[in-house]
Structure formats: C-alpha cells, structure tokens
Amino acid sequence: MAQPAPDPDAWRTQVRQWLATVLEPARAPQSAGETADLAVFHNLPPDEERLLLERCRAYQRARFDAGYQALTLPADKGGAGLTAAHVAVFAEEESAFEVPPSTELISVTVRLVAMAVSLFGTPEQRHDHARAFLRTDLLACQLFSEPGAGSDLAALRTRARQDGDEWVIDGQKVWTSGAQFADYGLLLARTDPDVVKQAGITAFLVPMDAPGVEVRPIRQMSGGASFNEVFLSGVRVPDRLRIGRPGQGWEVATTTLAFERTASGSGNRRKGGTFPDVLALARSLGRTSDPLVRQRLADLYVRAALRAATVDRVARTSASGGRPGPEASLTKLMASELLTRTGQVAAELMGARISADTGEPDTFAWTQHVLGAPGYRLAGGTDQIQRNLIGERVLKLPPEPRADRAPFSQLPGN
C-alpha cells in the first residue's frame, strides 16, 4: 500500500534543511554597477555552456539522490508520488538559495523527455533511460519541430520504416535546443502515411551519436547559438528505443508538449528581465515620477502578479494528476506575453540608450531580452496555438473547421 504524502508544512522544514546542505543562501540584489543577465536564451560560447551544464547536473543529481526530483510523478513510475502542494513548497524554499541557472537542455531532459519515458516507456526503458534523464546522467533534446511542421506538428514529414528489429529514419528537425550536447533525442516520425496525420506518428529515442545524425547550430540574432538543425539520413534505431506503441506518437507528443508549456510558464529558471529589473531601471533613469511611466509599471506589476497566481492555481489543480492538461497553455501564454511587455516597457524607458552600449549598467543589456522574447512566443507551441487550445479545450468553444481529416498521404503536398 502506498504511503500517504507527508504534511506539506512539516515537509517544508525537511526541504529547507536539505537545501542548506547543497546550496548557498540567495545573494542580495545586485549592487550598483553590476550588470544583470537579461538574456531570454543563453548566448554562451560552447566551453562556458559545458561548464554551466555540469553545474546544473551536479545539483540535479543531488536533488534526485535526495528524493526531490519528479515530485508529482507516481512512485511506480520513478517519481516521489507527492502532490502539487509539495511542488509549490519546494519552489518556495528553493527560491531562498542560489540555485545554479538552468538551461533549456536541462529543462527538456528532466521535465519533458524523462517524464514522457516514465509515462509511456516500458519497465526496461524507465530503468535504463528515465532514471538517467531524471538524474541528468544522460541529457536529451526534443526532436519535434520541422521546417514545414512547426505550429502544425502533426504534419511532420520525417519518416521511419521498420526493417526487422530496427527502424530506419530519414528527415530534418529544427529549433532543437542543446542538440550539440545531448546524448539522446526524443523524436517523432511518421510510420504510417495511410491514416490521418495524428494517427500515423511514432516516438523514438535516437542516440545523437548514431551514424547519419548531423547537428548544425543556428546563429541567433541575439548572438548565441542555442538552437540547432538536426539532419537524419538512414539513421538506424533499434525497436527497443521506440517509446509507446507504433502510432502512439501523437499522444506522447501532446503529453510532452503539455509538460513543456508548464515548464515554460512556471519554471524557476530566470528568463530575461523581470518587473524588479524594470523598476530598478526606471529609478536609475529618474523616471518614476512620470505618471505615464508609473501607469506602465503598475500594469506590468499586475500582469506579473496575475501570472504567478495562475501558475500556482494551475499547478495545484492539475500537476498532482501526473499529466498536465490544456490549462498549461494558460501559463505558457501568460509567460510569453509578460516577457514581451517587459521588454517593451524597458525599451520605452531607455529610448536610444538601448541601441548602443554607453557603459551604463543594465541598459544595453536589455537588447538580449528584447531580441530573445519573440522566440519565446514560439517555444512549446505558438501563442496562436495556445489561444486555440484555451478556446477549444478550456472554454469549450466550437473548434475551427478542419480540412485535413483525410489520410496523410492524400493531403495536398504529399
């Protein structure tokens, strides 16, 4: 019989004591002249990115070993089997310490791929891979998006054909975070073109060092190369690395994307500038007495508070169920909107200062936020897709007319 979950308040003391053994207390706000990291996406050279990954992995391993990883995942799937209330308690206590800044690859590994393998994998896959992903002994990227299948993910054209006990995969993926450092990729491929597009997709774990896998970095306009194109040419993957049944890939994908939207909307990794950063900027520029500026700051503060409250509500009502539902789209949409508005207010405050580095602290650094925020409107599904999901699955509005109900091979362009 499963043990009852510990009382969250009593558990809080245990969490705080453990965190104090592995982390330093949070530092005071940055001092004058210290430049803040306002980048939405990392813009680090490869060597620095590797060092950051190792810092993150050390903390994730300690957290796993102490039993604080995958808190709401059922115990029989490798998690702690706790509730959303415990997740909220852990996040509150963790915020008082200097947690190593995470990366997209760490988030994808722990909060997406590990969860997908835990929920859909065989016992052997959970033992060999899910545990290693949760502990970050292995790192995994997400091979979903394609040049012609971004928002309409079900239209993907990467193919996998079975050849004995192996699958042969050909295709191209794009916007893959951390592919150059990953050990595996969770890939979606079309295995049956003669059924409707959602029904003919299968998920696989692809070793990123397999023959036929080529990773090409994509240079971002903000200067970094966090994303990649991945080309797959005759890549052979054993059937034991198939996740779920043949044709179950769409269910794996939608579940994983729900985890991604939850992670994007509520993760503890700092992404770009925040309201306190904008407020500090307004004060440093002597603009806080301007009534229009005060109105913009108040609007930004209210939106930040509403997002935090929504994250908490969604977490408490859905995360304990194991699989996040369409409500995750709410937190993702609010997060991307808040990032965009934060950059807009900062840019309005600075005017021309944002276009050139004058040496003033925390001014030109905002370019990293402004250039990165648009990309966040695409991650985990575009804002338009989130609104459709909210309308159809949360508000129960009539769905949009669909003209792609025929088998995939009969659709135009195939």
The SS3 call for residue 147 is: coil
Among residues 251, 260, 327, 392, which one is catalytic? 260
Give how far the C-alpha of residue 296 lies from the chain's centroid of Cα atoms, to the nearest Å: 29
Enumerate residues 6+ apart whose C-beta is below 8 A from 392. Answer: 398, 399, 400
Residue 345 burial (C-beta neighbours within 10 Å; 0-12, 13-18, 19+): buried
260 is catalytic: yes
CA distance 146 to 315: 30
Q: Is 374 left (phi over 0), alpha (psi -120 to 50) or beta?
A: alpha
Residue 235 is classified by DSSP as E
The SS3 call for residue 171 is: strand
With contact defined as beta carbons under 8 Å apart, do 297 and 366 qualify?
Answer: no
Q: Look-up: residue for tokens 């991604």?
A: 260
- Which one-letter amino acid corresponds to residue 142? Q
Phi first, then psi, for residue 243 (nearest 5°) are -105, 115
Q: How many CB atoms lie within 10 A of CB 254?
A: 15
Residues classed as catalytic = 260
